[in-house]
Amino acid sequence: MRSAGLSAHSGPVAVAAVAVSPDTALRAPALTAARLAVSRDLTLAFRRRSQLVQPLAFFVLVTLLFPLAISPELARLRSIAAGVLWVAALLASLLALEFLFRDDAQDGTLEQYALAGQSLTWLLFAKTLAHWLLTGLPLSMMAPIAALSLGVGAAALPGILVSMVVGTVTLSLIGALASALTLGMKRSGALLALLTLPLSLPVLIYGARATELAIAGNAYLAPLELLAALAVLAVTLAPLAAAAAVRISLE
C-alpha cells in the first residue's frame, strides 16, 4: 500500500475533498478510544518487560522472606499467610504505580487525551484497566503459588485467587487517583505511599479476612462481597477524581 512514492498523492486529494468536520462522522466511538488506550499501554509494557516483572518479583521475594524470618513451621506460617499475602500485594502494587501516568505526562500523551474530545474520565479508566491487567491480575495469579509456599492447602487457592482479583481492582484504582494527584511533583514515591496506604486499609482488612476464612476452610462470601462493594465504589469515583487531578496537573 505504501509501495510507491506516487501513493503520496492519494492522500492530499482525499484531504482537499473533505471539509472541516468538528466531529460526527469521523469521531471515534468511546469504546474504540478505550480499546486503543488499553492496547497502547499493553504494547508499551511488553516492549519494556522489566517494569512488568519488578512488582511480581518483589511480591514473591517478600512472601519468601517470612518463612526465613519467622519459622519454617508450616502451621505457624499458615496462620499468618493471609496477612503476609495482602501486605506484600499492597506494597507490590505500590511499586508499580510510579509508571502509571508519569511517562504519559512527560511526553504529552495525557495532554492529548485531555484534548481528545473524549471523556478524560473514560480514557483514564481505560488506562487504569490496562494497569490492572499488567500488575493486579499477574499478582493475583501469583498469590496462590506464594500461598502454597506458606503451607496453605490447595483447597483454599480458589478463594485466595478470587479475593485477590477483586481486591487488586480497587488497589489499582486508588493507585491511579494517588498518582494523578502527585503528577506535578518531581519525587513522588513517599507521598504516593502516604496517599495510597490509608485509602487501601479497607481493602486490606476485607481482603485479608476473606483469604483467612478461605484458608481455614470457612465460607468467605461476606468479606468478599464487601471487597466487591469497594471495587464498585472505586470504579465509579476514582476515575472521575483522577481526571480532575490530571486536568489540574496539565494547567
Partner 1 sequence: MNLRDSRAVFAKELQAENLHVWRADRHVLKGVGFVLPLGECLKVSGPNGAGKTTLLRTLCGLIFPEEGRVLADGEDVRADLRAFHASLMYLGHEAPLKADLTARENLRYWIGVRRALPGPALDGALARVGAGAWCDRLVRTLSAGQRRRVALAGLALMFTPLWLLDEPTTNLDTEGQRLAGELMAEQLARGGAIVVAAHQELPDTVRAARVLELAA
Q: Which positions touch partner 1 (CB under 8 A)?
A: 1-2, 5, 7-8, 10-12, 14-16, 18-24, 26-29, 32-33, 36-37, 39-40, 43-44, 47-48, 103, 107-109, 111-119, 123, 250-251
φ and ψ at residue 67, rounded to 5 degrees: -55, -35
Nearer to partner 1, 23 or 75 (CB): 23
At 226, list the grid cell.
464487601
At 142, list the grid cell.
501469583
CB of 17 to partner 1, least distance (A): 9
- Tell me the residue length of the chain: 251
- As a whole number of Å, the CA-based R_g of the chain is 22
Nearer to partner 1, 8 or 190 (CB): 8
Of 161, 165, 160, the closest CA to residue 136 belongs to 165
Cβ-Cβ contacts under 8 Å for 212 (sequence gap 6 or more): 82, 83
CB of 42 to partner 1, least distance (A): 11
Nearer to partner 1, 180 or 195 (CB): 180
Nearer to partner 1, 107 or 225 (CB): 107
Nearer to partner 1, 32 or 236 (CB): 32
Measure Cα distances from 225 to 201, 230, 236 in Å. Answer: 16, 9, 17
CB of 20 to partner 1, least distance (A): 4
Note the maximum CA span of the chain.
76
CB of 107 to partner 1, least distance (A): 6
* Pairwise CA distance, residues 25 & 21, whole Å: 8
Nearer to partner 1, 79 or 119 (CB): 119
Specify the DSSP class assigned to residue 20. Answer: P
CB of 233 to partner 1, least distance (A): 25
CB of 243 to partner 1, least distance (A): 11
